[in-house]
């Protein structure tokens, strides 16, 4: 793994420690990933329960407070999105193999693969990390502002407090309630994207990149090495592959292979419908398209 990738992982874990959404953290003393202490893990479990409550609220808004098909699709996007976050975060009991695997990846620099320049796969992962950071802040801020300015949008939690597109509270109560919900929306979305970047970006993508680069290194050294040495290196690569499958085959594979593609289809459908609608919010449609990409 490159130093640039480690910096991005470190930054993501610092953000996770701030929002209390992952059972791991970056230890500056050892320069690697370690488990959170017991007290911090209890806070992480509490935020996980809050995430579950948000999922139920968004599922409820999908079926109870949406009239048109587009409104149902918008509410469904929020429900699926937070369901993805809950499934990824539901690391109970904590899978220590994932932590050990990430530590193993960090301790293997590119020089061990015989690379003289950065792999295109690693550059693509770096680009996805930057896109994730920008999109996370952009959408979290937008959702918070929408909660304050247009709280009856079906994708927002504040739509639960609306009746006939009007809030059911007085003006004094509205301010406090909407500020609280806007803060909750911002923190919840930051937790969601931070966890996705860790489990999908760090564990899966960097794990796949490691196996890909390892296989390339074996092929390059095949002619120069003896058959027995090449066979041992191949057997070692198979072990890495089994470890990655063990880390990702349950929750992470379920999300990346099934739930995320369905969510992308829903995003694309909703964005297209909004763009072709005369009375729809074009900014919201473009935001859905960016999230889809």
Radius of gyration of the chain, Cα coordinates, nearest whole angstrom: 22
pLDDT reported for residue 176: 83
Contact 281, 274 (CB under 8 A): yes
In SS3 terms, 220-242 reads as HHCCCCCHHHHHHHHHHHHHHHH
Going through the chain in order, the beta strands assigned E by DSSP cover 24-27, 32-35, 162-163, 166-167
Going through 114-270 in order, the beta strands assigned E by DSSP cover 162-163, 166-167
Terminal-to-terminal C-alpha distance of the chain: 26
pLDDT reported for residue 8: 92
Cα dihedral across residues 27, 110, 241, 122: positive or negative: positive
Classify burial at 184, counting beta carbons within 10 Å of its beta carbon; exposed 0-12, middle 13-18, buried 19 or more.
middle
Contact 44, 36 (CB under 8 A): yes
Each residue's pLDDT tens digit in the chain (293 positions)? 788 888 999 999 999 999 998 889 998 888 888 888 888 889 999 999 998 898 888 888 877 755 677 777 777 777 888 888 888 888 777 778 888 888 888 887 767 666 667 788 888 999 989 988 998 898 899 889 988 888 888 788 888 887 766 666 655 667 888 898 999 999 999 998 899 899 888 888 888 888 888 877 777 766 666 666 666 777 777 777 787 777 776 667 777 777 677 767 777 777 777 667 665 556 666 666 666 66
Contact 33, 25 (CB under 8 A): yes
Residue 95 tokens, joined: 């899978």
pLDDT reported for residue 116: 64
pLDDT reported for residue 207: 87
- List, in order, residues 6 or more apart from 114 with CB less than 8 Å away: 217, 220, 221
């Amino acid at each position: 793994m490159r130093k640039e990738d480690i910096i991005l992982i470190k930054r993501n874990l610092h953000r996770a420690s701030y929002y209390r959404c992952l059972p791991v953290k970056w230890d500056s003393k050892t320069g690697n990933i370690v488990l959170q202490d017991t007290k911090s893990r209890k806070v992480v479990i509490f935020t996980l329960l809050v995430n579950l409550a948000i999922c139920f609220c968004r599922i409820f808004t999908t079926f109870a407070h949406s009239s048109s098909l587009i409104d149902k699709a918008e509410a469904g996007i929020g429900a699926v999105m937070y369901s993805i976050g809950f499934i990824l975060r539901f690391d109970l009991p904590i899978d220590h193999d994932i932590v050990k695997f990430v530590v193993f990846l960090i301790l293997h620099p590119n020089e061990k693969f015989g690379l003289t320049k950065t792999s295109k796969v690693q550059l693509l992962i770096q680009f996805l990390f930057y896109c994730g950071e920008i999109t996370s802040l952009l959408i979290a801020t937008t959702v918070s502002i929408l909660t304050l300015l247009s709280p009856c949008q079906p994708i927002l939690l504040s739509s639960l407090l609306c009746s006939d597109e009007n809030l059911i509270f007085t003006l004094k109560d509205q301010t406090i309630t909407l500020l609280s919900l806007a803060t909750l929306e911002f923190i919840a979305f930051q937790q969601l994207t931070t966890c996705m970047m860790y489990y999908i970006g760090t564990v899966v993508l960097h794990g796949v990149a490691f196996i890909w680069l390892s296989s390339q290194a074996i092929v390059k050294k095949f002619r120069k090495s003896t058959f027995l040495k090449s066979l041992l290196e191949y057997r070692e690569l198979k072990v890495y592959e089994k470890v990655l499958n063990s880390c990702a085959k349950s929750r992470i594979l379920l999300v990346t292979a099934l739930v995320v593609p369905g969510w992308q289809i829903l995003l694309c459908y909703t964005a297209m419908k909004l763009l072709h609608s005369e009375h729809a919010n074009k900014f919201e449609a473009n935001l859905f398209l960016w999230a889809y990409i």
